[in-house]
Structure 1
């Protein structure tokens, strides 16, 4: 298997008044193509910051990230955006759907921007897979939290990403709804053979993945394989 994400000696600091706050300190790990990988740790451990650096949403202060064969440090903003559009999917805790677009439009618009053929057909198929075939023309405000996250799932897989980053995907959902969303996430992921990276404080969710990276205080405290190939 080839490495789809390789992180070497990554560091990130922020200014807090007159002080420097180290959020990530010398983080190194790699993820193989097709792997399911969880990043866990308490609040403030640097999980979301690490995800942002791995996905090219932010710049590291030290170290290197190679994503889908590209050294992110050598890419400008436009090149990073192009890489994300072609290779990367995202699922966020707060859904991030466009409120003025219907469920179908939220899935279709990214496909149209990428010049996909039959975007509406693809969108309807994906929404059908997540159980929203009868909600195509509903706006986010007309959908429950679980339904909104299922729209976000369909959108995340619409460009057939090589790697998908999910940041606390069940954080705003009740237990039963969250369980169903995770079930769908893993089903779609297996079907698409996508590399899945989940950031969560939920150990039960993390244990569904092949490997768990644990952070504490901005440092790696363990990198454990749970499921052998």
Structure 2
């Protein structure tokens, strides 16, 4: 299988006052196309920072990242944004829906930005897949947390991403609602054949992926292959 994400000797340091804080140190791993992959570790271990670097939202101080066959360090800001629009999907802990847009508009906007003529039709199909076709005209404030995350799921798959990054996708949901969202995430992912990379502190969720990368103190503790139940 081809590697869709290659991370090599990544380092990221932030300056706080007169101190330098190394958040990630010598991180190396790869993800094969079509795999499910989780990054786990305690708070402050560098999980979210790593996800942002892998998606090209930030630049490392050292090391290299190849995403979908492209070296991110060779791209400028606009080129990285274009790569994300075409190849990458995102799911965030806090949903990040646009409050002035309806559920359907939130899902359709990425497609419209790409010039798709059938954006609304595709948006409705995706909302139907996450069980929210009857709520298409509701605004985020009129939806529960679980419903908002399902809209975010539909939006994440709208541009048929090659790779989907999910940052604590159940972090703001109760256990029962979170389980439903995770089930939908894996079902949609399998149907689309997308590569899935999840950042989570939930080991039960991590065990549902094929590979687990453990971080601690900004370093790789270990990496292992799992057999998802």
**TM-score category, normalised to shorter length:** over 0.9
Distance 1:131 1:77 in 2: 36
RMSD across aligned positions (CA): 0.7
Distance 2:94 2:181 in 1: 14
Distance 2:130 2:81 in 1: 27
Distance 2:162 2:117 in 1: 19
Gaps of 5+ in 2: none
Number of the residue aligned with 2:129? 129
Distance 2:22 2:117 in 1: 45
Cα deviation code 1:92-125 (max 9, x no counterpart): 0000000000000000111000112311110000
Number of the residue aligned with 1:9? 9
SS in structure 2 at match of 1:42: coil
Distance 2:78 2:69 in 1: 17
Q: CA deviation at 1:227?
A: 2.7
Number of the residue aligned with 2:208? 208
Cα deviation code 1:27-76 (max 9, x no counterpart): 00000000000000000000000000000000000000000010000100
Number of the residue aligned with 2:166? 166
Distance 1:122 1:131 in 2: 14
Q: CA deviation at 1:16?
A: 1.2
- The reply on whether 1:81 has 2:81 as its aligned counterpart is yes
Distance 2:217 2:184 in 1: 32
Gaps of 5+ in 1: none
Number of the residue aligned with 1:92? 92
> What number of residue pairs does the alignment pair up?
228
- Given the two structures, how large is their TM-score scaled by the length of structure 2? 0.99
SS in structure 2 at match of 1:134: helix
Distance 2:116 2:172 in 1: 31
- The reply on whether 1:192 has 2:196 as its aligned counterpart is no
Distance 2:63 2:211 in 1: 22
Number of the residue aligned with 1:145? 145
Distance 1:226 1:171 in 2: 22
Distance 1:94 1:181 in 2: 14
Number of the residue aligned with 1:114? 114
Distance 1:91 1:19 in 2: 32
Cα deviation code 1:176-204 (max 9, x no counterpart): 00000000000000000000000000000
Distance 2:159 2:214 in 1: 29
Number of the residue aligned with 1:156? 156
Number of the residue aligned with 1:23? 23
